[in-house]
Each structure stands twice: as C-alpha cells, then as structure tokens.
Structure 1
C-alpha cells in the first residue's frame, strides 16, 4: 500500500494501530507455513521455561481463560502441546510444549525478520513499544 498523503498527519494511535494490524497480518501469513497461529506462538513462547497451568498461561498472555482454552485445544490437536493433570492440584492441568511444538516455535522465530520489516533503530523501537505496553498494562491489569 503506497503512502497516503495524509498519513504524515495521522495521530500516533492510528499509526500504531495500523502498523500493529499490518504486522499481525504478515505474521499470520508467515506462521501459516509453520502450522501455528499468532496466539499459538505466544503460548509456545510462554512455555519455553517449562509447564504452566492453563490459567497462568492466560494471565501471562493477558487473555481470558476461555480464550486460552480454544488456543490450547488447537495446539494440542496439532501435537504442539500436551495437557496433563497437575499433581499438586487435581482441578488444574499443566500444559507442556512437545518436541513438535519446540520445532514450530524455533522455526517461527527464525522467520520473524521476513515477516516484520526492518527499521532504522530496532532497539529503540523495541524499547518504545515496551514502554507503551508496560504503561498500559499497569493501568489495566494492576
């Protein structure tokens, strides 16, 4: 999409929302080739340090438990995660990344640079995005 002449005058929120949607679409297209969704990639990333309860995954992903349940069902069906009873709490199930999930996660992150365009100062962009996310998270989830 060529630059629309008025984009220079768009409010920052509109630019950020548009950029986020475009990156999400690019990620979606890239991740289709890996066989996972963006939500699935977030779950696989959260499981990098070991098993977590479904409710904890939802909390860390900042989504409702019901939303997380659908994502986990798909990941489990596709062989990327396993859910087992939590030995410390019979009502809870622990979610673990499988070897197939590990491979999908590794492949997805190796493709990030092809899905997200390069910027002049990626470290500065990351720092500014983190600042925005942290500030809004503190307001919403503290």
Structure 2
C-alpha cells in the first residue's frame, strides 16, 4: 500500500517509492560525494541486484550519475545529478511531505512514537532472520 499510494504522490515527477528512497539516501549530507552501489544497497537494506536495474533507469532518466570510484576502480560511485537534485528538492520533497502529513494526519505524537518503536523492533527481528539465513547460505 505504501508503494501504491506513495508512488501516486510523486508519479507526476516520474518517480516511484523506490526511486524516492534512492534520491532521499543520496540527498543526505553524508552522501554529498556519492555512495558506492554496495553502500547504497546496505543503507536501503536491499540487494545489489535489485538496486542495479533501478540505478540504471534513474541514470538513463538523468536523475543520477555513476562514475568509477577513485579508490576502487571496480566500484561505481553514484551521485544525484543536478537535475535530480532540483527534482528532489523542488518537486518531490514537498509532495512527499504532504503525503506523510496526510497518512499521519490522525496520529498523535504518542501514536507516532509507539509506531516508530514497533517498526524498529520489527526491523531488528527481520535483520536477525536475515543474518541467520546468510550464515546458513554460507555453510
């Protein structure tokens, strides 16, 4: 439902929720010099394979640029392009904020606090399951 309703919020900009997550990650101060594909995958908690096609489409659409990493030429550094930054700041972000205000409109501060707590707990449980599965796959 988040994907469906969230994508509607930014569809006029030609974005999906996955693309907004990538732009959001790259818009952070810590990512001003870009991120490797591996760093971005870890930050977004997705596989490199799932991210690869998405990044290629976003690069094709002019939202991103990917260049060889100066420290590791085998790795690519992904950065938001100037047009991607303008899209993110001027068009997408206001619509994303309005979307969150609408979906959280009847939540009290207490509701949001408890929801965040529960979602973080759920995320921790999922990470533990993933870690156990990764160990089994390595054996």
Q: TM-score, normalised by structure 1?
A: 0.73
* 1:82 maps to which of 57, 65, 78: 65
8 A Cα contact 1:53 1:92, kept in partner:
yes
Q: Match of 1:27?
A: 6
The reply to whether residue 98 of structure 1 matches residue 81 of structure 2 is yes
Is the alpha carbon distance of 1:137 and 1:44 closer, same or farther for their aligned partners in structure 2, counting shifts above 3 Å?
same
Whole-angstrom distance in 2 between the partners of 1:40 and 1:97: 11
Structure 2 residues without counterparts, runs of 5 or longer: 133-139
Count of residue correspondences: 121
> How far apart, CA to CA, are the structure 2 residues paired with 1:139 and 1:104?
37
1:60-114 Cα offsets, whole Å, 9 max, x none, are 2222212111110111111111001111111111001112222333332322344
Q: Distance in 1 between matches of 2:96 and 2:82?
A: 20
Contact 2:6–2:17 (8 Å) recurs in 1: yes
CA RMSD of aligned residues (A): 2.0
Distance in 2, Cα, partners of 1:141 & 1:89: 27
2:96 to 84, 91, 112: 112
SS in 1 for 2:73: strand
**Normalization by structure 2: what TM-score?**
0.74
